[in-house]
Chain A
């Protein structure tokens, strides 16, 4: 495993991340986040002091295995009720600006 030490967060990377996360950022925000992320990541690389080669990662702290539900249909919430929170809808369908990019 290659540990990238002293990673530098560049403006381009921040812009790429903003694109992935679908966040519209102002020029000022891009500058700010470049600086802040660079400083934070720099500090977080403290973890590289530890050798973790044979350590299993922990993703959850609950010791049990998964719990199931049985396959039965439960009454869901009233469509009319939840459609009230939808910003735009037409005849029960959620309306969004036309999807041009397919994917």
Chain B
């Protein structure tokens, strides 16, 4: 049986987080009434003209630089002509043969090009009519086109997550696939491992989550394999992902070839990017996820896995570093964030967490100093989550300070041993597993406040000094 390899390229559309649209002053706010955020320009009124939003260009430049693209000193806006109700002018202003930037890299994946364009509106389909809302028409987009450098759904997923992370680190796109601010079309073909040429590809659209991208790719690989193995040919076509049936299906009507009749938009002069602008933007690019991960591993001695988790969101990484700043315990901080905090919330919501980075840092400091036990810390953590109070306040209010006073602990130990003479005998007869039982009982007696190390020390001494 032939072994196949998938060849995958992705086209990502990212909505830029500008306040106003790309060619007019309308708001880009998401939750407006239907057709509320519109003006003569974005509704394609006769006589209206586009004027380019500088911020949109700046944002696009950031991504171009972050992906190490070559930026064209002069790029051209072109009209892509086709008819659709959500396209008010009958053409989309995009970039065609002279895009903003070309030839970049994200990890192992080469970037073919990045260009700017305007988003279309939205059609809502009823039973006899369709309805058009133009609020989204004119929101700035960048299209990031990769080379066909991915070979599996995992690689595609990794690339996508990396892109999304970059956009979020640059603070130019919120990367929300469900809301459509980050959209992905997949170009995929398969070929026998021994073959050099690419197979015929299908384009998959309408995928609105990372998981579905991976699923759609996996489905498509299997589908194309079946097609080839049954002696048929893969048809070059656009397919849509059906997330309920977990499959792709052909969008037959689209097969009528489009002729977009691209030509330079005479309403917009060439976009010139002077070097000084490039330099300015370069200075504004923050440390991105990949670099941060490296640094976390080197500077804090974290594992690659933990560092990777911590940098997945800029806010989370920032939170982590704030915690470390206070407690000086990177590993503990990482553990507490990854295993405790992220059980309660998500990386994207971290800024809204009731436990501030300062409080978590203080909590870790208290553990470190021995003021509280690790066990008590978990209780305090829970109380912090529910109340938003500082760990000190909780510790003081509830008297949860760890008891390390040997005299007090010795008393608890003696009481427990006295009440469990039978087990003491068994222990001394060699059933040393019972040690844990005694520790537990003493802890209980101390209401969790006893210092476990001290318990251990005293308990061992008592049990091992026979007949005292």
**A and B: direct contact (Cβ < 8 Å)?**
yes
Residue A76 at the chain B interface, CB threshold 8 Å: yes
Which residue of chain A is the closest to B33 with respect to CB atoms?
Answer: A92
Residues of A within 8 A of B128 (CB): 97-98
Task: Name A's interface SS.
Answer: loop
Q: What sequence of 0s and 1s flags, for each residue 60-103 of chain A, a beta carbon within 8 Å of any chain B beta carbon?
A: 10101111111111111101001100000011111111111111
Interface size classification for chain B = 35 or more
Minimum CB–CB distance from B35 to chain A (whole Å) comes to: 5
Residue A22 at the chain B interface, CB threshold 8 Å: yes
Residues of B within 8 A of A44 (CB): none
Q: What sequence of 0s and 1s flags, for each residue 43-61 of chain B, a beta carbon within 8 Å of any chain A beta carbon?
A: 1010000011111110000
Residue B352 at the chain A interface, CB threshold 8 Å: no
Question: B54 touching A71 by the CB < 8 A rule?
Answer: yes
Q: What sequence of 0s and 1s flags, for each residue 259-291 of chain B, a beta carbon within 8 Å of any chain A beta carbon?
A: 101001010111110000000000000000000
Q: What sequence of 0s and 1s flags, for each residue 123-140 of chain B, a beta carbon within 8 Å of any chain A beta carbon?
A: 111111111111000000
In the bound complex, CA of A101 to CA of B256 (Å): 11
Which residue of chain B is the closest to A57 with respect to CB atoms?
Answer: B264
Residue A20 at the chain B interface, CB threshold 8 Å: yes
Given A79-B38, A93-B124, A96-B129, A103 and B253 contact (CB-CB distance below 8 Å): yes
In the bound complex, CA of A65 to CA of B258 (Å): 32
Interface residue from A65, A95, A99 paired with B270 (Cβ < 8 Å): A65
In the bound complex, CA of A72 to CA of B268 (Å): 20
Question: A79 touching B35 by the CB < 8 A rule?
Answer: yes
In the bound complex, CA of A51 to CA of B458 (Å): 102
Residue A59 at the chain B interface, CB threshold 8 Å: yes
Interface residue from B39, B251, B270 paired with A103 (Cβ < 8 Å): B251
Task: Name B's interface SS.
Answer: loop
Q: What sequence of 0s and 1s flags, for each residue 1-41 of chain A, a beta carbon within 8 Å of any chain B beta carbon?
A: 00000000000000000001010000000000000000000
Which residue of chain A is the closest to B26 with respect to CB atoms?
Answer: A76
Residues of A within 8 A of B130 (CB): 95-99
Residue B84 at the chain A interface, CB threshold 8 Å: yes
Interface residue from B19, B131, B253, B261 paired with A93 (Cβ < 8 Å): B131
Residue B198 at the chain A interface, CB threshold 8 Å: no
Residues of A within 8 A of B308 (CB): none
Interface residue from B19, B55, B123 paired with A99 (Cβ < 8 Å): B123
Which residue of chain A is the closest to B272 with respect to CB atoms?
Answer: A65
Question: B261 touching A66 by the CB < 8 A rule?
Answer: no
Residues of A within 8 A of B51 (CB): 67-69
25 A-B contacts, Cβ less than 8 Å apart? Answer: A60-B269, A65-B269, A65-B270, A65-B272, A66-B268, A69-B20, A71-B18, A71-B20, A71-B53, A71-B55, A73-B26, A76-B26, A76-B39, A77-B38, A77-B40, A91-B34, A92-B34, A92-B35, A93-B35, A93-B124, A94-B85, A94-B133, A98-B126, A98-B127, A102-B251
Chain A residues packing against B (C-beta within 8 Å): 20, 22, 59-60, 62, 64-77, 79, 82-83, 90-103
Chain B residues packing against A (C-beta within 8 Å): 18-20, 24-27, 33-40, 43, 45, 51-57, 82-85, 123-134, 240, 251, 253-254, 258-259, 261, 264, 266, 268-272
